Amino acid sequence: MIVVGVLTLLLNGGLVPPGSDTAALRAPLLDTLFTVSSREARIHSVRDPQLQVDGDTIRPRRRRAVEVSEWYYRRLTVHRYTAYSTIPVFGLQYAAGNQLYTKGATAPTWAKTMHRVGATALAGMFTVNTVTGAWNWWDSRSAPGLALRTIHALTMLGTDAAFAYTGAKLSNEAENSFDKRRLHRKVALISIGVTAVSGTAMKILNR
């Protein structure tokens, strides 16, 4: 404020000696003011990386665009509709599996048949979604939201392994052992729950 007051007095002739040329004194002072103002603008632009100084205009820096292939969206469509298709299959598997869990070898034939068919269908669906999901994860690795997509991919790979374990190993052992049936049911339900939570999170966040 003191500097501004002194400069104002100088420009208005308050401290100019009598008989001096005030116009000649004002011109250098004005040049100095504009030079200081320009330097301050450059300093602010360096401190704030979001701003760029171009002459007298301050513009925000544009975000870098990320492009994905056309096949990315085709694989995403297949991935989503396959995931939706697993929901009714999960329901049928639960109904049939509950019969096998409570009755064992005496369970009705329809439950045994449906459970086998459902397990085969889920194996195919999870294979399709694993391939399309992993491919799209790699294709969009430079796009925002990679952490969320990575968590989704890892959880789904975990459920792939859990379902493979219940189908390849525990299903045969569960026919003659109640403890194995209980373990089979527990692992399957946990896998279904993790799949539902992970898929719902991706749907809500639209990734």
User: DSSP of 47-84, one letter per residue?
Assistant: H-TTEEEETTEEEEPPPPP----HHHHHHHHHHHHHHH
Inter-helix orientation angle 109-139/70-103, to 10°: 150
Residue 207, pLDDT score: 55
Q: For residue 6, what pLDDT band results from cuts at 50, 70 and 90?
A: very low
Phi-psi map region of 22: left, alpha, beta (phi>0 left; psi -120 to 50 alpha)? alpha
| Domain residue limits, the chain | 2-60, 70-204
Provide the residue type at 62 as one letter.
Answer: R
101-153 per-position pLDDT tens digit? 988 888 899 999 999 999 999 999 999 999 999 999 999 988 888 999 999 99
Geometric angle at alpha carbon 89, from 83 and 94, rounded to 5°: 125
9-40 per-position pLDDT tens digit? 444 544 444 444 444 444 444 444 444 444 44
User: DSSP of the chain, one letter per residue?
Assistant: -HHHHHHHHHHTTSSSPTT--HHHHHHHHHHHHHHHHHHHHHHHHHH-TTEEEETTEEEEPPPPP----HHHHHHHHHHHHHHHHHHHHHHHHHHHHHHHHHHGGGS-HHHHHHHHHHHHHHHHHHHHHHHHHHHHHHHTTTSS-HHHHHHHHHHHHHHHHHHHHIIIIIHHHHTT-HHHHHHHHHHHHHHHHHHHHHHHHHHHTT-
Residue 51, pLDDT score: 47
Residue 43, pLDDT score: 43
- Within a 10 A sphere around the Cβ of 35, how many other Cβ atoms? 10
**What is the reported pTM?**
0.65
151-175 per-position pLDDT tens digit? 999 999 999 999 999 988 888 888 7
